[in-house]
Amino acid sequence: MAKMFYENECKLDALQGKKVAVIGYGSQGHAHALNLHESGIDVTVGLYEGSKSWAKAEEAGLTVDIAGRATAQADVVIMLINDEKQPQLFKESIEPNLEAGNYLVFAHGFNIHYGQVVPPEDVNVFMVAPKGPGHTVRSQYQEGRGVPCLVAVHQDITGDTLEVGLAYAAAIGGARAGVLETTFKEETETDLFGEQAVLCGGVTALMKAGFEVLVEAGYQPESAYFECLHEMKLIIDLINEGGLSYMRYSVSDTAEYGDYRVGERIVTEETKEEMRKVLKEVQDGTFAKEWILENQANRPSFTAKRKMEAEHPVEIVGKDLRKMMSWLKK
Ligand X SMILES: NC(=O)C1=CN([C@@H]2O[C@H](COP(=O)(O)OP(=O)(O)OC[C@H]3O[C@@H](n4cnc5c(N)ncnc54)[C@H](OP(=O)(O)O)[C@@H]3O)[C@@H](O)[C@H]2O)C=CC1
Ligand Y SMILES: CC[C@](O)(C(C)=O)C(=O)O
Cα angle 173, 27, 177; round to 5: 20
E strand spans, the chain: 4-5, 19-23, 42-47, 63-66, 76-79, 103-106, 124-130, 149-155, 179-181
Q: Chain centroid to CA 250: how far? A: 29
Among 12, 26, 95, 232, binds ligand X (CB under 6 A): 26
Phi and psi angles of residue 204, each rounded to the nearest 5 degrees, phi first? -70, -35
Among ligand X, Mg ion, ligand Y, none, what binds residue 303 when CB lies within 5 to 8 Å by partner kind? none
- Scanning 2-10, 88-96, 191-199, 262-270 for contacts with ligand Y by CB under 6 A, the matching segment is 191-199
How many other C-beta atoms can be found within 10 angstroms of the C-beta atom of residue 224?
Answer: 22
Say whether residue 29 binds ligand X (CB under 6 A): yes
Choose among 49, 50, 48: nearest CA to 24.
Answer: 48
26 annotated as a binding-site residue: yes
Site string for ligand Y, 130-159 (x = CB under 6 A): --xx--------------------------
108 part of the active site: yes
Say which of 30, 32, 37, 108 is annotated catalytic: 108
- The verdict on 177 binding ligand X (CB under 6 A) reads no
> In angstroms, what is the minimal distance from the CB of 247 to ligand X?
24
Question: What gap in Å lies between CA 18 and CA 156, rounded to an integer?
Answer: 17
Select from 77, 81, 104, 282 the one that contacts ligand X (CB under 6 A). Answer: 81
Q: Which residues pair with 105 in a beta bridge?
A: 78, 126
Residues in 40-59 that interact with ligand X by CB under 6 A? 47-48, 51-53
CB 232 within 8 A of CB 203: yes
Give me the least distance between CB of 11 and Mg ion, in Å please: 26
User: Is 42 annotated as contributing to ligand binding?
Assistant: no
Picking from 274, 266, 287, the residue whose alpha carbon sits closest to that of residue 191 is 287
Binding residues for substrate: 252
Residues that bind ligand X (CB under 6 A): 23-29, 47-48, 51-53, 67, 80-83, 85, 89, 107-108, 129-130, 133-134
Residues known to be catalytic: 108
Contacts with ligand Y, residue ranges (CB under 6 A): 132-133, 191, 195, 199-200
